[in-house]
């Protein structure tokens, strides 16, 4: 019967049909499972996605904390401002939208494109700030054309403002837009693209303290992004004001005295270590940083030959000149190489190691003891100390007194300076140290670099008869004496290495320098017992100075004065540096006198 064509074998067809039916059944079951999973298991996820079409979440910026001086004068505050941002997901035609927005807001197309591409990795629903500090006309223009530009939103936010402009700019610092790398910093986890953060000065040092805590707003919007209602709001929290030791009257006076010069001034409260004034000139207006720089504007400021962005008080490195003679005197006393009666004869020139070394006074000073040598700033006396002291002994004492290390002030970017040693020269210059180099270091020349703040702290160390202080800007309970980085207390170090009775011998010379017709007499203030030391730092080599002099070129030195007052129970230290100012007694000392006199008038009833 198998040969009968009526009975065709359909077993293969039936097997295939069963396979197809089974496949359809499996697909049907999977489809049912998918819809069940979507509607039952994952409904919250898709509900949230749907809600995003009608709910907009935004951050409410927190006003940054105020910064005030010790008397409550507001140095930094916030004012109202409007910013417009672009929401990429609301942009139907990116290219056309950017061109239209560029015309609307008068922003160059390439600049607008650069800003949006910078944050291209951000989610499309997040607003990208494209223009700050909108005028009322611009706000009205955007608001009136909201239907035409659904991608634009206007945000009211606080704007940083520095009411005194350039005054105290190096201390206060400035804000700039957060970078992509900073957005990844765990310390800045709550920041958004386009936020402004502290980049320099106190704004950077206390960024997390000043920034406050942003709020959150959840609102209902329609299909065009227009606000229909509010669902949730948490208000931003402003940080408490940052109060400084700074006295604005002293600060303003210090900057006025420096105007038209290049240099730095530091005024320290010797009771607490508080910075009463710290001026650096040339300066800049931090308000300019709130509005976005063009690349050309930034380059003109950052690469200016006057370096207006540099805080010379903590970052300027200078040879201390004759100011370093105080360190040399302390070191020699402490090592018992001299006492107050030890004298050296100054004829104007001395030959050491076969080379002539000159005093600044061509005719010499005659026989000089330590007090007289400080009073007259006699080079020959300290050349002789340099002959008896090894460079490593000088470096050890200089380090103990605060040179060659950061002071610990609460400002970013402070430099350490340099105190040379034999090992330093071997490592840095691949050469041995020669004894003749120590002679130059003994009067503050050679490869010896300090900051004006280090000199001020060193002066306070002498005034307090060997008690170290750490300079602070923020006025707080912990602004008194600190410890060295080693963790060993200052007093322990001093008991091991310094005889406190030596300080009175140094102070006596500083007092006579100002009050008995010494080199510092320009700083004298009647009735205030100012003690001080002048310095003049060579800025070019002697050979080059001679060549320039033969061509009738005036070669000026950097001008130093550092001192404190009163002599007993000292209250204040003042350090002045004027670049290319000439002799310290002629230029820096009179400026210091103005600050001592103002301090006495301002604080006479406070102590």
Residues 595 and 503 in one domain: yes
Considering 190, 218, 243, which residue would you say is the last residue of a domain? Answer: 243
Residues 363 and 425 in one domain: yes
pLDDT, position 485 = 36
Tokens 């080693």 sit on residue: 486
Are 347 and 357 a contacting pair, CB within 8 Å? no
CATH number of the domain residue 83 falls in? 3.90.1310.10
Q: How many CA atoms lie within 13 A of 87 on its CB side?
A: 18
Instruction: Please state, in angstroms and rounded to a whole number, the distance separating the CA atoms of residues 376 and 520.
Output: 9
pLDDT, position 553 = 45
Are 220 and 230 a contacting pair, CB within 8 Å? yes
Considering 224, 243, 262, which residue would you say is the last residue of a domain? Answer: 243
Taking phi over 0 as left and psi of -120 to 50 as alpha, with beta for the rest, 212 belongs to left
Residues 106 and 159 in one domain: yes
pLDDT, position 119 = 66
Residues 373 and 502 in one domain: yes
Chain-centroid distance of CA 495 in Å reads 34
Instruction: Please state, in angstroms and rounded to a whole number, the distance separating the CA atoms of residues 464 and 456.
Output: 12
Q: Is 184 domain-assigned?
A: yes
Query: Residue 569 carries which DSSP code?
Result: S
Residues 464 and 430 in one domain: yes
Instruction: Please state, in angstroms and rounded to a whole number, the distance separating the CA atoms of residues 443 and 385.
Output: 10
Instruction: Please state, in angstroms and rounded to a whole number, the distance separating the CA atoms of residues 419 and 403.
Output: 7
Q: How many CA atoms lie within 13 A of 479 on its CB side?
A: 22
Pairing between β-strand 128-131 and β-strand 74-86 as defined by DSSP bridges: antiparallel
Q: Which residue positions in the chain have pLDDT lower than 50?
A: 1-2, 477-495, 541, 544-545, 548, 551-553
pLDDT digits (tens, 9 = 90+) for 352-387: 999 999 999 999 999 999 999 999 999 999 999 999
pLDDT, position 525 = 96
Q: Collapsing DSSP states into helix, strand and coil, what is residue 424?
A: helix
Residues 397 and 426 in one domain: yes
Residues 74 and 134 in one domain: yes
pLDDT, position 111 = 78
Range of the domain at 398: 248-285+317-603
Which residue, among 592, 583, 581, has the nearest Cα to 532 in the 3D structure? 592
How many residues in the chain?
607
Tokens 């499309």 sit on residue: 124
Residues 6+ apart with CB under 8 A from 280: 170, 258, 263, 264, 310, 311, 312, 313, 316
Residue 78 sits at φ, ψ, to 5 deg, of -125, 145
pLDDT, position 478 = 40
Residues 192 and 262 in one domain: no
pLDDT, position 480 = 38
pLDDT digits (tens, 9 = 90+) for 101-123: 888 888 888 777 777 776 666 66
pLDDT, position 515 = 96
């Amino acid at each position: 019967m198998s040969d009968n064509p009526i009975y065709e074998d359909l077993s293969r067809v039936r097997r295939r049909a069963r396979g197809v039916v089974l496949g359809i059944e499996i697909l049907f079951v999977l489809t049912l499972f998918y819809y069940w999973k979507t509607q039952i298991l994952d409904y919250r996820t898709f509900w949230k996605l749907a809600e995003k079409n009608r709910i907009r979440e935004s951050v409410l910026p927190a006003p940054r904390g105020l910064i005030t001086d010790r008397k409550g004068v507001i140095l930094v505050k916030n004012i109202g401002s409007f910013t417009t941002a672009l929401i990429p997901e609301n942009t139907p035609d990116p290219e056309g939208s950017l061109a239209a927005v560029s015309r609307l807001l008068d922003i160059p197309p390439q600049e607008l494109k650069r800003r949006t591409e910078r944050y291209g990795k951000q989610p499309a629903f997040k607003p990208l700030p494209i223009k700050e500090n909108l005028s009322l006309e611009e706000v009205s223009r955007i608001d009136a054309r909201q239907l035409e530009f659904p991608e634009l939103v206007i945000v009211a936010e606080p704007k940083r403002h520095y009411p005194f402009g350039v005054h105290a700019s190096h201390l206060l610092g400035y804000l700039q837009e957060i970078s992509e790398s900073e957005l990844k910093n765990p310390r800045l986890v709550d920041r958004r693209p386009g936020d402004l953060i502290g980049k320099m000065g106190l704004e950077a040092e206390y960024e997390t303290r000043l920034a406050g805590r942003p709020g959150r707003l959840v609102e209902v919007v329609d299909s065009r992004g227009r606000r229909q209602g509010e669902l949730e709001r948490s208000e931003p929290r402003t940080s408490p004001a940052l109060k400084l030791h700074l006295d604005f009257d002293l600060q303003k006076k210090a900057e006025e005295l420096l105007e038209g010069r290049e240099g730095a001034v530091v005024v320290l409260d010797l009771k607490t270590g508080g910075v009463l004034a710290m001026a650096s000139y040339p300066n800049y207006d931090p308000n300019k940083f709130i509005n976005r720089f063009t690349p050309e504007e930034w380059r003109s400021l950052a690469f200016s030959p006057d370096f207006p962005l540099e805080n010379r008080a903590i970052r300027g490195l200078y040879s201390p000149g004759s100011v370093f003679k105080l360190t040399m005197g302390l070191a020699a006393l402490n090592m018992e190489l001299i006492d107050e009666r030890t004298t050296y004869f100054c004829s104007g020139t001395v030959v050491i190691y076969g080379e002539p070394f000159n005093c600044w006074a061509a005719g010499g000073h005659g026989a000089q003891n330590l007090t007289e040598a400080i009073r007259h700033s006699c080079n020959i006396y300290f050349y002789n100390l340099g002959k008896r002291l090894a460079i490593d002994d000088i470096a050890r004492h200089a380090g103990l007194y605060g040179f060659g290390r950061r002071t610990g002030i609460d400002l970013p970017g402070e430099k350490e300076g340099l105190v040379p040693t034999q090992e330093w020269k071997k490592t840095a210059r691949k050469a041995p140290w020669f004894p003749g180099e120590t002679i130059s270091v003994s009067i503050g020349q050679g490869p010896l670099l300090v900051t004006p703040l280090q000199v001020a702290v060193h002066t306070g160390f002498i005034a307090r008869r060997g008690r170290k202080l750490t300079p602070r800007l923020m006025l707080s309970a912990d602004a008194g004496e600190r410890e060295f980085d080693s963790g060993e207390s200052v007093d322990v170090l001093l008991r091991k290495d310094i005889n406190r009775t030596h300080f009175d011998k140094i102070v006596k010379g500083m007092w006579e320098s100002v009050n008995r017709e010494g080199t510092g007499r320009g700083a004298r203030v009647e009735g205030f017992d100012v003690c001080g030391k002048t310095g003049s730092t060579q800025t070019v080599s002697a050979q080059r100075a001679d060549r320039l002099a033969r061509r009738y070129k005036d070669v000026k030195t950097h001008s130093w004065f550092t001192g404190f007052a009163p002599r007993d129970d000292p209250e204040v230290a003042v350090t002045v540096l004027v670049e290319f100012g000439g002799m310290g007694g002629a230029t820096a000392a009179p400026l210091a006198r103005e600050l001592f006199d103002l301090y006495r008038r301002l604080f006479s009833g406070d102590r």
